[in-house]
């Protein structure tokens, strides 16, 4: 199937190397962060590569006790945008190792 034993060993060695590089990159990604600001600076979110919010700032003038819906919408928008940015960052960084193999998210 693989031609010969040497080819198979070479392929396994490359697979192990890619796996090691992916593990290292996953550890690095967890330390990276993305920053999102919405509503003209009303809400700012920092999220790490593990999709944990590490910082959330709300401008005082964005807090209106008579209009909590606006603040809720801004929070949802900021968190969703940060999550999308993390996904893009992970996809971009993983693509450098996988060479654009298009591996599903669970395979890295």
Residue 108 is predicted with a pLDDT of 45
Q: Residues near 17 by Cβ (< 8 Å), separated by ≥ 6?
A: none
More confident residue, 106 or 45: 45
**Contact status, residue 94 vs residue 25, Cβ threshold 8 Å:** yes
Cα(36)–Cα(50) distance, integer angstroms: 16
pTM of the model: 0.75
Return the percentage of the chain with pLDDT > 70, whole number.
87
Ordered by where they begin, the domains of the chain are: 5-98 (3.30.1310.10)
Q: pLDDT tens digits for 3-45?
A: 688 888 888 998 898 888 888 988 999 999 999 999 999 999 9
Residues in the chain: 108
What's residue 102's pLDDT? 54
Q: What is the DSSP letter of 100?
A: S
């Amino acid at each position: 199937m693989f031609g010969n034993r040497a080819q198979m060993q070479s392929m396994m060695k490359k697979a192990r190397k890619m796996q090691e590089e992916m593990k290292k990159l996953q550890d690095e990604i967890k330390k990276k962060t993305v920053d999102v600001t919405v509503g003209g600076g009303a809400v700012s979110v920092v999220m790490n590569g593990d999709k944990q919010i590490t910082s959330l700032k709300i401008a005082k003038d964005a807090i209106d006790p008579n209009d909590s819906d606006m603040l809720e919408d801004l929070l949802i928008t900021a968190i969703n945008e940060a999550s999308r940015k993390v996904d893009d960052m992970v996809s971009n960084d993983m693509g450098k190792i996988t060479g654009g193999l298009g591996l599903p998210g669970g395979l890295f």
